[in-house]
Structure 1
Amino acid sequence: MQLFEFMIKSMRSIWMVVLVMVVFACKEDDPLPLPTLDFTNETAEVGRPVMFDNLTTNADRYEWKFSDGQTSESISPSITFKKPGAVEVVLKAFTKDGQIDSLVRNITVKQRYLTAYAINIYPLKDDGADWDAGEAGDNIYPDIFLQLLVDKDNPSDDEFENALFEGIFNNVKNTSFSRGVGDQGFPDNVILTDESWGLALFDFDGADISNPKGSDFYFMAGVTFNPVQAPTFQVDYGGFISIFFSDGITTLDFYLYFVLK
């Protein structure tokens, strides 16, 4: 009787071992759950880093490919695009057991279009003297010409087309002034590119405002800056950049407003 009970207990132990081995074998052979792919990204614009926030689950590693040729194996990469337009984004996710799934999305890389400017501070005096000394009344105030252009020795014809030339504004006595899209003659197609630009103010001192010459313009103030990398106060549809310059003698402070499209 004791021998019979011992045999029964031994058989139970053997079956338990076999059952455990079968369960573990099944677990090792069963595929892991496929990744659930998803990501979000900030508004993409030329020259500004864009964070791609990876929301994927059940994955061990990742591959990112962008149709402009950039790639990354980071979980959530930061990508900077050099050109505007459509970009295809491919996110590929891999599980530890070698399964692969992918997600494809198209995004649009936008650029900054100038919509307005505001000159907040500029030289009201020419080293303490009136800009048009010897004149009387409002004629003592400057006749301002504004230039916003890429900072190059020899801009191309296209770069001259993609520039802002404003004025001549007669006898400007306001401590600040602004203009924008909707004001007469203000263009709506100036693209603020990711490179050095210059904004300069000149006082017109010529005799014939209808036929100005280069020698008629007297430099008031100016500064170079990158309108994409400059300090930006931004919202989804656009924003403005803030530029402040002072050399101890001359101070120039202004905003450039833009939309992204």
Structure 2
Amino acid sequence: MPALSDTRALLFARFAEESLNVRDEDGFRGLVRQHVQPLLPHATLLAAIGRVHFDHLQILHIVDVDYPQPFLESLPRVFRVNERPAFARWLSTRSAVVLDTGSDEVPMSEQERAEVEVIGNGRLVIHGVPDLSGYMGSFLSFAQVPRDIPADDARMVVNLLCPHLHAALCRLPQPLTKDDAVLGNLTQIEKQLLGLLAAGRTNAEIAKLRGKSPDTIRNQLYKLFDKLNVGSRAEAVSLLLASKTLSDIRID
């Protein structure tokens, strides 16, 4: 396992300190250009915030650092694990993965190989923070990492950088999504029902707490699910946990 030299350890300490001061996207880009580049030379970085589940990544927001605009415009918003073996490797190992078209170390789909060739000029390093609760995860893709940097060294550096970059991303103001708009239009009763669902209450318990019949609660939940365009209690709660508009809702 490689180790940081004294010089790089000082650079990393400065990066970690400066990462705490990031408050907007320009600040994040400045952090990457000034403090990540010396630790891991690369051409571009794609940083995505979204819901990282065991079987897919749903991108909610992207902060790019010098990424090609045409690629960003064509980037899918959902990545399926069963279609992307390299992505699956990252999720299963919870560690940085080096994708290199000149190496067979990490299996890639044809789509992944094409992306690495076009965007990464043959080499990408990916990592992030999976979030199986569906609340907020991150995905980082460092493109065009020079091949003279050993894979073990690149993995070590990205593993160290990732938690700090993830924390910085989570502090950024996030634009409202379509789900946020729907949640923001819920009635007070619907918000209360959603909070009770998030607390794990059964229909019978909700009925008792609200002084209503179980049939009434069942009908109210059907209407709530229809409004949220979800098919289950778990999906409804997942929307609540990911929401930026209902952070003050009571869950009890």
Report the TM-score range of the alignment, normalised by the length of the smaller protein.
under 0.3
Higher strand share: 1
TM-score (norm 1): 0.27
The structure, 1 or 2, with the larger RCO (C-alpha pairs under 8 Å, 6+ apart) is: 2
Larger radius of gyration: 1
TM-score (norm 2): 0.27
